């Protein structure tokens, strides 16, 4: 497909927000569609965007390349489920040129794993080295209940295929009160036994999903205290460009992460922004302020308008989010669903 030549935008200044943070990490949702309906992410009967509203793969390439030209070094493709987007491998293939040129350090993705058995080899061939897989339980019946439509065997087969292809896997597990909290030790031992990091994530108050957020919410401060009674947890200074804080589990030798948007705000070192599949730029996952990049993208074959829109948006990036869950805030903090912005 046609590609945007970075050499056509020489000398562009790096992106720096009002708090002096370099914006070097872009997360791009390539579709709002998913083959699961996870209970903490979306309603069971979702209305998805018309396909005409989505950026084409060529537009997604141009948009990502514009950010690379401005200093983005890490690119993560998300969804919905990114691997259900038709032709998605052509986008990975095209973007891999920035890895070859040295302008981009990493292309990766977050996936539910359902399509990994099909695409693992191609992902590795296109320069992907690691993948985040969302997996909240190792119990098949519970997995079906959480995902509503998913099959655990399919995801486990995808993980097998990804590891066989040489991809490094990190497991992301959302902590759900009364649902999977008894499984965390087993999940840790399983993941670490296969050489995979595991990160626990608090429920984020995004979108009306037909469930009570307070009923789902399990503070990771409590989870960590419980795990500390079973495992020896040693603090680590590791950072992977994301919000997780890590410990080493002495008994397994593996690494365990905690993402705590509610019990511990992780915004102070935020270096990332998010673009939706329609070209809307969110400077913060937990704020509604956004910028339309689709209009300047389509208004001209050149990127001056696009760069100007990006600059204006980055100048509004807030210091942090306003997530909160308590008895007074039972409604979602934001109306948009997680699948819209990307995981």
CATH code of the domain covering residue 279: 3.20.20.70
The pLDDT value given to residue 46: 81
pLDDT band of 268, cuts 50, 70, 90? low
CB 104 within 8 A of CB 68: yes
The pLDDT value given to residue 224: 95
Q: What is the mean pLDDT of residues 157-182?
A: 96
Burial of 13 (0-12, 13-18, 19+ CB in 10 A): exposed
Residue 68 inside a domain? The answer is: yes
- Among 91-95, 241-245, 279-283, the minimum mean pLDDT is found in 241-245
Q: What is the mean pLDDT of residues 309-337?
A: 64
* pLDDT score of 323 more than 80: no
* pLDDT score of 3 more than 90: no
pLDDT band of 123, cuts 50, 70, 90? very high
Nearest-angstrom CA–CA distance, 17 and 25: 13
Q: What is the mean pLDDT of residues 195-214?
A: 71
- Among 14-23, 82-91, 198-207, the minimum mean pLDDT is found in 198-207
pLDDT band of 325, cuts 50, 70, 90? very low
Residue 18 inside a domain? The answer is: no
**Which of helix, strand or coil describes residue 191?**
helix
Domain count, the chain: 1
Q: What is the mean pLDDT of residues 146-161?
A: 96
Residue 170 inside a domain? The answer is: yes
Residue 12 inside a domain? The answer is: no
Closest C-alpha to 259, from 220, 291, 286, 288? 220
Nearest-angstrom CA–CA distance, 29 and 32: 7
Residue 252 inside a domain? The answer is: yes
Closest C-alpha to 276, from 293, 300, 295? 293
Phi, psi of 313 (to 5 degrees): -70, -45
Residue 17 inside a domain? The answer is: no
pLDDT band of 9, cuts 50, 70, 90? low
* pLDDT score of 343 more than 90: no
Stated pTM of the model: 0.87
- Among 134-138, 155-159, 292-296, 318-322, the minimum mean pLDDT is found in 318-322
Nearest-angstrom CA–CA distance, 196 and 184: 14
CB neighbourhood size of 212 (10 A): 10
- Among 27-41, 85-99, 180-194, 321-335, the minimum mean pLDDT is found in 321-335
Closest C-alpha to 175, from 202, 212, 211? 202
User: Quick one: tokens of 43?
Assistant: 């309603």
The pLDDT value given to residue 44: 79
- pLDDT tens-place string over residues 19-70: 899 999 999 999 999 999 888 887 778 888 898 899 999 999 999 999 999 9
pLDDT band of 127, cuts 50, 70, 90? very high
The pLDDT value given to residue 333: 44
**Which of helix, strand or coil describes residue 206?**
strand
**Which of helix, strand or coil describes residue 94?**
helix
The pLDDT value given to residue 129: 98
The secondary element (H helix, E strand) that includes residue 233 is strand 233-235
- Rama region for 126: left / alpha / beta (φ>0; ψ in -120 to 50; rest): alpha
Residue 2 inside a domain? The answer is: no
Residue 192 belongs to domain spanning: 23-341
Closest C-alpha to 90, from 49, 118, 56? 56
Residue 179 inside a domain? The answer is: yes
The pLDDT value given to residue 208: 47
The pLDDT value given to residue 51: 85
């Amino acid at each position: 497909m046609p590609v945007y030549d970075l050499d056509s935008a020489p000398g562009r200044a790096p992106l720096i927000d009002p708090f002096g943070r370099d914006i070097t990490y872009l997360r791009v949702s390539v579709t709002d569609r998913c083959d699961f309906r996870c209970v903490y992410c979306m309603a069971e009967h979702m209305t998805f965007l018309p396909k005409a509203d989505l950026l084409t793969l060529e537009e997604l390439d141009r948009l990502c390349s514009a950010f690379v030209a401005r200093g983005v070094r890490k690119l993560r493709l998300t969804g919905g489920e990114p691997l259900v987007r038709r032709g998605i491998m052509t986008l990975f293939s095209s973007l891999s040129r920035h890895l070859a040129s040295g302008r981009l350090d990493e292309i990766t993705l977050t996936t539910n794993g359902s399509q990994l058995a099909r695409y693992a080899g191609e992902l590795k061939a296109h320069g992907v080295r690691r993948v985040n897989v969302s997996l909240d339980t190792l119990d098949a019946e519970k997995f079906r209940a959480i995902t509503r439509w998913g099959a655990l065997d399919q995801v486990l087969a995808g993980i097998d295929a990804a590891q066989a292809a040489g991809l490094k896997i990190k497991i992301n597990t959302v902590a759900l009160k009364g649902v999977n909290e008894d499984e965390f030790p087993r999940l840790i031992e399983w993941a670490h036994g296969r050489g995979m990091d595991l990160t626990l994530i608090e429920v984020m108050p995004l979108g009306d999903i037909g469930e009570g957020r307070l009923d789902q919410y399990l503070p990771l401060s409590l989870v960590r205290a419980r795990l500390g009674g079973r495992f020896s947890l040693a603090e680590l200074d590791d950072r992977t460009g994301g919000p997780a804080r890590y410990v080493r589990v002495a008994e397994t030798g593996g690494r365990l992460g905690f993402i705590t948007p509610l019990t511990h705000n992780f915004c102070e070192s935020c270096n990332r922004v998010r673009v939706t599949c329609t070209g809307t730029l969110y400077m913060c996952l937990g704020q509604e302020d956004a910028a339309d990049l689709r209009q300047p993208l389509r208004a001209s074959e050149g990127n001056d308008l696009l760069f100007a829109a990006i600059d204006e948006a980055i100048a509004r990036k807030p210091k942090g989010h306003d997530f909160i869950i308590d008895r007074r805030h039972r409604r979602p903090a934001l109306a948009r669903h997680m699948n819209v912005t990307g995981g």
